[in-house]
Amino acid sequence: MSTIFSKIIAGEIPADIVYRDDLVTAFRDINPQAPTHILIVPNKEIATVNDLAEEDEQVAGRLLLVAKKLAAQEGIAEDGYRLMINCNQHGGQEVFHVHLHLLGGRPLGPMLMRR
């Protein structure tokens, strides 16, 4: 199974890559929901958070540390930002390759729509 994110990581699909190391790659979302919207993904294809294994502990932590670094680089760390991971259908996951959304650059409002 090869996702669009795996193809971006492999260089098969162009993307605005803002960070890359041996564990993760980060790139700007093509349909941004905030002025800053960066996706941070493991280079290893892991379908959902439910599929993370003990051996993925380092990459899971790296996602957060890279988000912190990019928030500072983007100038949104001081005002604040949101980190979001969707898991499966009810969680709103569209691409089945774990990814962390870094969103910021404006007030983001409540976490969920109120009913």
Confidence of residue 110 (pLDDT cuts 50, 70, 90): confident
Backbone dihedral angles phi then psi of residue 50, each to the nearest 5 degrees: -60, -20
Q: What is the mean pLDDT of the chain?
A: 95
Q: Is the pTM of this model over 0.85?
A: yes
Q: Is 97 a catalytic residue?
A: no
Q: pLDDT category, 26, cuts 50, 70, 90?
A: very high
Query: In whole angstroms, what is the distance from residue 67 CA to residue 72 CA?
Result: 9
pLDDT digits (tens, 9 = 90+) for 1-13: 689 999 999 999 9
Q: Compute the distance between CA of residue 4 and CA of residue 10 in angstroms, rounded to an integer.
A: 10
pLDDT of res. 111: 81
Give me the residue label for tokens 């971006």: 8
For tokens 């190391």, name the residue: 21
Distance, CA of 106 to CA of 89 (rounded, Å): 27
- Could you tell me how far CA 11 lies from the centroid of its own chain? 17
Active-site entry in 37, 97, 99, 101: 99
